Chains A and B, each alone.
Chain A
Amino acid sequence: DAGITQSPRHKVTETGTPVTLRCHQTENHRYMYWYRQDPGHGLRLIHYSYGVKDTDKGEVSDGYSVSRSKTEDFLLTLESATSSQTSVYFCAISGTENEQFFGPGTRLTVL
């Protein structure tokens, strides 16, 4: 998976609790992305980062925040998880502005 790890790989949590997902890369790529994947939908961009402390919103950013304090780490936080945020979350990296390499995914269930 092109030097990308995600943690945790699976998580079950309750509505209203905070959740943080971590993406770690060893490729020293500039761009990092968080997507969610749901049945009936293609991958949808939540947030992305184009450098340390530089982030921007994607298509479905409501209810999510991100932080990137180091090149290798990109964190996705759900401040107060809701059942609609039950999904599979993928991190991706890119060394250019085009081709993206994806991590193995995190399956999040919000009860």
Chain B
Amino acid sequence: GENVGLHLPTLSVQEGDNSIINCAYSNSASDYFIWYKQESGKGPQFIIDIRSNMDKRQGQRVTVLLNKTVKHLSLQIAATQPGDSAVYFCAENENYGQNFVFGPGTRLSVLP
């Protein structure tokens, strides 16, 4: 699709399994994080966010974990479905600023 890179990391999972997508961030001062989903030919879609005063946040079928010690963020998708196939990327932000830094993304492929 027009929105993805040629060499994105790819995660392939069986339908019904759980998916874990990882993101390493660079700025230890970042205090707000978002996970986005981007389907081919579409704009990024907000999935879930987390602030640095939390370690875990749950949504519908999704959980975000934040490990500030190693500057690592993960997105867990339970019971992965074909409609979850997309590129997922994280974004970090510091001190309510306007400049989000976006990761390059991971392509999730759900196998039937």
Q: Which residues of A contact B (CB under 8 A)?
A: 1, 4, 31, 33, 37-45, 48, 50, 56, 58-59, 88, 90, 92, 97-105, 107
Q: Is the CB of A33 within 8 A of B98?
A: yes
Q: Is the CB of A45 within 8 A of B100?
A: yes
Provide the bound-state CA to CA distance between A37 and B38, in Å.
Answer: 12
Closest to A50 in B: B98
Q: Which residues of A contact B43 (CB under 8 A)?
A: 1, 4, 90, 92, 102-105
Q: Which of A33, A42, A44, A105 contacts B105 (CB 8 A)?
A: A42
Closest to A31 in B: B98
Bin the interface of chain B by size. Answer: 20 to 34
Q: Which residues of A contact B104 (CB under 8 A)?
A: 40-42
Closest to A105 in B: B43
Apart from A43-B91, A102-B45, 13 more pairs, CB < 8 Å? A37-B3, A40-B5, A40-B6, A42-B101, A58-B98, A58-B99, A97-B96, A98-B32, A98-B34, A99-B46, A100-B34, A102-B43, A105-B43
Provide the bound-state CA to CA distance between A15 and B89, in Å.
Answer: 32
Q: Is the CB of B102 within 8 A of A42?
A: yes
Q: Is the CB of B5 within 8 A of A39?
A: yes
Q: Which residues of A contact B93 (CB under 8 A)?
A: 98
Closest to B44 in A: A102
Q: Which of B49, B98, B103 contacts A99 (CB 8 A)?
A: B49
Q: Which residues of A contact B7 (CB under 8 A)?
A: 39-40
Provide the bound-state CA to CA distance between A55 and B104, in Å.
Answer: 26
Q: How far is the CB of A76 from chain B (nearest CB, A)?
A: 15
